[in-house]
């Protein structure tokens, strides 16, 4: 079936729906990944190095590469088994984003505001595109591909992505592209699914995807976040199906207890065909933006609980690493992925034919 006839075959599709569907069907971001690869998605292009300016934001912009280096150096994951994604093109991004929003990123001033690094305003936009937005677009490609891999393998990890403050028309909070929304829209069309659960455990409210799926009953959002920090998006809160609002200073045992209760409720309310797990590590004690007091061991246990929740119900899961503003985040994420492997919740080693 041609892409145009496929788009036209959806009952009740508007011209905008048909255009979106055509863009998704003609995208190159989904490609066949051989069984010799693990469903772990990363590119060296994820990492941001920008004349030292990246150090002006608390985010560790080399976090993603450090996670992979820990895993490969310690023998948990062979470099050759990591999947390299493609960069999301403008046509891919238009699946969710407006033309006006994408055009706004041609302003270095606008990008500087989104990523909260004022000196970027003074940089030529071609340099901002190359050094900052290109790495983000590669991570978007990784998030989109990871959903396909999860449906095929049962799980996938994008060692990046999780830009949960960005919506179709607005970026912010170091998030320039709405990779979660894009990943889900691609999955609806290409993977033939119609029920997705977002489990957002970053310390901040995931207001971007909440706005994008405001009245979409196909997406169930469980968001557990510190209500006393950015973004204070009260309009977006209305679209959270299940919100767990934490207070600053919440400690590990209380946090894990609230997570257990939330997962039990979610299990009774919605039966998804795919889980998007936004696994921010800005919940760590000492994180300058999260203001929570979760231990490194607590993060490892948290991730294990979410993966077990998915595996017990046989639901494919995509993990994205999202926020985390301390150098120690990379070590904690690598330890968590190692623990998932040891508990047989993910398989990093070569699979027998």
Tokens 């027998």 belong to which residue?
A: 352
DSSP letter string over 270-281? ---SEEEEE---
pTM here?
A: 0.95
Q: Strand, helix or coil at 193?
A: coil
CATH 3.30.210.10 describes domain 36-341? no
The CA–CA distances, whole Å, from 248 to 230, 298, 301 equal 12, 16, 20
What is the percent of the chain with per-residue pLDDT over 90, rounded to a whole number? 88
Residue 295 in this model has a pLDDT that exceeds 60: yes
**pLDDT at position 352:** 45
Both tokens of 144, joined, read 């989109």
Local structure of residue 170 (DSSP, 8 states): B
Residues recognised as catalytic: 165
Residue 353 in this model has a pLDDT that exceeds 80: no
Q: In what order do the strands lie in the sheet with 274-278?
A: 40-41, 155-158, 317-320, 274-278, 196-200, 219-226, 242-246
Q: What is the pLDDT of residues 3-25, one digit of tens each?
A: 444 444 556 789 999 999 999 99
d(CA 292, CA 249): 5
């Amino acid at each position: 079936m041609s892409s145009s006839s496929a788009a036209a075959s959806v009952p009740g599709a508007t011209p905008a729906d048909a255009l979106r569907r055509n863009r998704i069907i003609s995208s190159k971001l989904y490609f066949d990944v051989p069984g010799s690869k693990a469903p772990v998605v990363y590119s060296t292009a994820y990492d941001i190095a920008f004349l030292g300016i990246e150090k002006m934001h608390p985010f560790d912009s080399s976090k993603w590469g450090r996670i992979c280096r820990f895993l490969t150096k310690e023998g948990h994951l062979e470099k050759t088994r990591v999947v390299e994604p493609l960069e999301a093109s403008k046509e891919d991004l238009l699946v969710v984003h407006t033309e006006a929003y994408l055009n706004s990123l041609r302003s270095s001033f606008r990008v500087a505001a989104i990523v909260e690094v004022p000196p970027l305003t003074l940089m030529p936009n071609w340099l901002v595109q190359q050094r900052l937005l290109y790495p983000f677009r590669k991570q978007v490609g990784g998030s989109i591909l990871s959903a396909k891999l999860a449906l095929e393998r049962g799980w996938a990890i994008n060692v990046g992505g999780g830009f949960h403050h960005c919506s179709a028309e607005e970026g912010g909070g170091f998030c320039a592209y709405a990779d979660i929304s894009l990943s889900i829209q691609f999955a609806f069309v290409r993977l033939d699914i119609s029920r997705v659960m977002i489990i957002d455990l970053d310390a901040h409210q995931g207001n971007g995807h909440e706005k994008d799926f405001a009245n979409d009953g196909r997406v169930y959002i469980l968001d557990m976040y510190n209500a006393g920090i950015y973004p204070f998006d009260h309009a977006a809160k209305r679209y959270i199906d299940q919100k767990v609002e934490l207070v600053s200073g919440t400690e590990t045992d209380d946090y894990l207890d609230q997570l257990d209760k939330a997962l039990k409720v979610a299990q009774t309310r919605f039966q998804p065909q795919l889980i998007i797990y936004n696994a921010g590590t800005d919940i760590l004690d000492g994180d300058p933006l999260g203001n929570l007091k979760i231990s490194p061991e607590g993060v490892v246990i948290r991730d294990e609980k979410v993966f077990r929740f998915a595996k017990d119900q046989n639901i494919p899961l995509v993990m994205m690493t999202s926020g985390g503003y301390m150098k120690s985040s990379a070590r904690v994420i690598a330890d968590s992925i190692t623990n998932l492997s040891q508990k047989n919740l993910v398989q990093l080693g070569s699979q027998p034919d």
